Amino acid sequence: MTAVGNGSQTAGRPTRLPRSARRKQLLAAAQEVFVAHGYHAAAMDDIAERAGVSKPVLYQHFPGKLELYLALLDTHCDAIVAKVHDAMRETSDNKERVEGAVRAYFDFVDHESEAFRLVFESDLRNEPAVRQRVERVEQGCIAAITDTIISDTGVSRAHAELLASGLVGAAETAAQFWLAGGRQVPKAEAEALLAALSWRGIASFPLQGEPAAGPTQTESA
């Protein structure tokens, strides 16, 4: 097993890294080990070896395996919630917002597939602290979309939350299915398909002050 490349040693001597850089290095090594073996089979010895550090160095930053795992989850949970928030803020066009929310999940699974598996396919989901973080991802994404729906349409919070949960659930499930299926559909096409499906429902709730969209000729025929 090779150590994570980070300049952790020079001429046989350990290189002292800034604390933030060392923490990032250890998290990267831990992610590889957790994804490869699962939480229960992963060992702190393996993580230290993968990072190219001694166990005492690892324990200086993380008192135990669970704390290390939770730190990883926090990093990735915050990242995906931020992606959905950004999708809501980047445009005032609601169709583009739906596309952006869907893209946030597909980007996450495409570029951060290990992180996605760590968060959504954890073998530690029954651990309360882990479950709380996974739920925080879903609730954070739902909240971002809910606030946008309320602001734009004026529907009640209960209605907006239900709509938002449907969009988040569809995006998460579809992205996970796409990843597990080996990305058989091109990413852009997969995003467009799901966004089109979601938009047909969201579009029936017009912006405040605008009339509700009536059925198209095809739909009313």
Percentage of residues in the chain having pLDDT higher than 90: 40
pLDDT at 216 over 70: no
pLDDT of residue 177: 92
Average pLDDT, the chain: 83
Decide: helix, strand or coil at residue 8.
coil
Residue 121: Cβ within 10 Å count: 13
Instruction: Decide yes or no: CATH 3.30.70.330 for domain 70-204.
Output: no
What are 80-130's pLDDT values in tens digits?
899 899 988 888 888 888 899 999 999 988 888 778 777 777 777 788 988
> Is pLDDT at 217 greater than 50 in this prediction?
no
The predicted pLDDT at position 203 comes to 66
What residues contact residue 55 under an 8 Å CB cut-off, 6+ apart? Answer: 44, 45, 48
| pLDDT band of 220, cuts 50, 70, 90 | very low
Query: Are 130 and 124 within 8 A, CB to CB?
Result: yes
Topology of the domain comprising 18-63: Arc Repressor Mutant, subunit A (1.10.10)
**Domain spans in the chain, listed from the N-terminal domain onward:** 18-63, 70-204
